[in-house]
Structure 1
Amino acid sequence: MIPFKLTDDLIAEIEQLIEDQKDTELSSLLEDIHYADIAEIINELNDDEATYLIKLLDSDKTSDILTELDEDIREAILGNLSAKEIAEELDELDTDDAADIVGELPKDMVQRVISELEDKEHAKDIVDLLRYDENSAGGLMAKELVKVNENWNVLTCVKEMRAQAENVTRVHSIYVVDDEEKLKGRLSLKDLLTTSTKTHIKDIYIPKVDYVNVNEKPEEVAKIMSKYDLEAIPVVDEIGRLVGRITIDDIVDVIKEEAEKDYQMAAGISQDVEADDSIWELTKARLPWLFIGMMGGIGAASIINVFQGAFVTFPILLAFIPLMQATAGNVGVQSSAIVVQGLANDSIKGEIWGRLLKELILGLVNGLALAFIFLLISHFGFKTSYMVSFTVGIALVTVIVNAALIGTFVPIFLNKRGIDPAIATGPFITTSNDVLGILIYFSIAKVLLNF
Structure 2
Amino acid sequence: MALEITKELLNNVEDMIQNQKDAALSELFADIHHADIAEVLDELSFDDAVYIIRLLDSETTSDVLMEVDEEVRENIFEQLSTKEIAEEIDELDTDDAADVIAELPEERKQEVIQQIEDREHAKEIVELLRYDEDSAGGLMAKELVKVNENWNVLTCVKQMRQQAEYVTRVHSIYVIDDEGKLKGRLSLKDLLMASTRAKISDVYIPNVDFVNVNDKAEEVANIMRKYDLEAIPVIDELGVLVGRITIDDIVDVIKEEAEKDYQLAAGITQDVDSEDSIWDLTKARLPWLFLGLIGGVGAFLIMEGFHESFSENAVLFFFTPLIAAMAGNVGVQSSAIIVQGLANDDVKGSIKNRLIKEMLLAALNGFMLALVLFAFIWGYSGEVQKAFAISVSLIVVIIVAGLIGTFIPLFLHKRGIDPAIATGPFITTSNDIFGILIYFTIAKMIIGF
| 1:432 aligned to which of 424, 430, 433 | 430
CA distance in 1, matches of 2:7, 2:418: 41
Q: 1:195 corresponds to which residue? A: 194
3-state SS of 1:313 partner: coil
1:337 corresponds in structure 2 to 336
Corresponding residue SS for 2:43: coil
Deviations 1:405-433 (A, max 9, x none): 00000000000010000111110000100
Shift in Å, 1:384 = 4.1
> What residue in structure 2 maps to residue 215 of structure 1?
214
* Paired letter, 1:405: L
> Which residue pairs with 1:162 in the alignment?
161
Q: Match for 2:413 among 412, 415, 435?
A: 415
Which residue of the partner structure matches residue 8 of structure 2? 9
Helix, strand or coil at the partner of 2:311:
helix
SS at 1:309 equivalent: helix
Q: Give how far 1:324 is off.
A: 0.3
Does residue 94 of structure 1 match 2:93?
A: yes
Moved more, 340-349 or 59-68: 340-349
For residues 204 and 220 of structure 1, what CA distance do their matches in structure 2 show? 30
Alpha-carbon displacement from aligned partner over 1:12-50 (angstroms, at most 9, x marks no partner) = 222222222221222222221111011111111222111
- What are the within-5 Å matches in structure 2 for residues 291-302 of structure 1? 291-302=290-301
Q: Secondary structure at the match of 2:242?
A: strand
* Residue 228 of structure 1 pairs with residue 227 of structure 2: yes
2:316 & 2:106 partners in 1: Cα distance? Answer: 64
Distance 1:298 1:28 in 2: 65
Which residue in the other structure is 1:32 paired with? 31
- Any stretches of 5+ residues in structure 1 without a counterpart? none
1:280-429 aligned at under 5 Å gives the runs: 280-380=279-379, 382-429=380-427
Cα distance in 1 for residues equivalent to 2:342 and 2:382 = 44
Q: Distance in 1 between matches of 2:16 and 2:87?
A: 25
Which SS does the other structure have where 1:312 is aligned?
Answer: coil
For the 8 Å contact 2:2–2:36, the answer to whether it is kept is: no
Match for residue 58 of structure 2? 59
Alpha-carbon shift at residue 346 of structure 1 (Å): 1.4
Correspondence list, 1:70-149, <5 A: 70-149=69-148
d(CA) in 1 for partners of 2:184, 2:29: 44
Supply the distance in 1 between the matched residues of 2:444 and 2:155 (Cα, whole angstroms). Answer: 86
Partners of 2:2 and 2:130 lie apart in 1 by: 40
Number of positions where the alignment pairs a residue of Structure 1 with one of Structure 2: 449
State yes or no: 1:240 paired with 2:205.
Answer: no
- Corresponding position of 2:68: 69
Structure 2: how far apart are the matches of 1:329 and 1:70? 37
Any runs of at least 4 consecutive aligned residues in structure 1 with deviations exceeding 2 A, and if so which? none
Give the distance between the partners of 2:281 and 2:49, measured in 1 at CA.
Answer: 26
Letter of the structure 1 residue corresponding to residue 256 of structure 2: E
Match of 1:272, as an amino acid?
D
Separation in 1 of the partners of 2:107 and 2:94? 20
Structure 2 Cα separation of the partners of residues 424 and 136 of structure 1: 24
TM, length-normalised to structure 2: 0.99
Contact in 1 for aligned 2:299/2:432 (Cα 8 Å) = yes
1:33 maps to a residue whose letter is I
Shift of 1:267: 0.6
Q: What is the alpha-carbon distance in structure 1 between the residues aligned to residue 21 and residue 296 of structure 2? A: 61
Give CA-to-partner distance per residue, 1:127-158, whole Å, 9 cap, x none: 11111111100000000000000111101000
Gaps spanning 5+ residues in structure 2: where?
Answer: none
Task: State the Cα RMSD in Å.
Answer: 0.9
Deviation string, structure 1 residues 197-231 (Cα, Å, up to 9, x no partner): 11111111111000000000110000000000000
Offset at 1:3? Answer: 2.6
Which shifted more, 108-117 or 164-173? 108-117
In structure 2, what is the Cα distance between the partners aligned to 1:289 and 1:141? 36
Q: Distance in 1 between matches of 2:26 and 2:146?
A: 39
2:34–2:64 Cα contact (<8 Å) kept: yes
After TM superposition, give the deviation of residue 348 of structure 1 in Å.
1.1
* CA deviation profile, 1:285-317 (whole Å, cap 9, x unmatched): 111111101111111111111111111111111
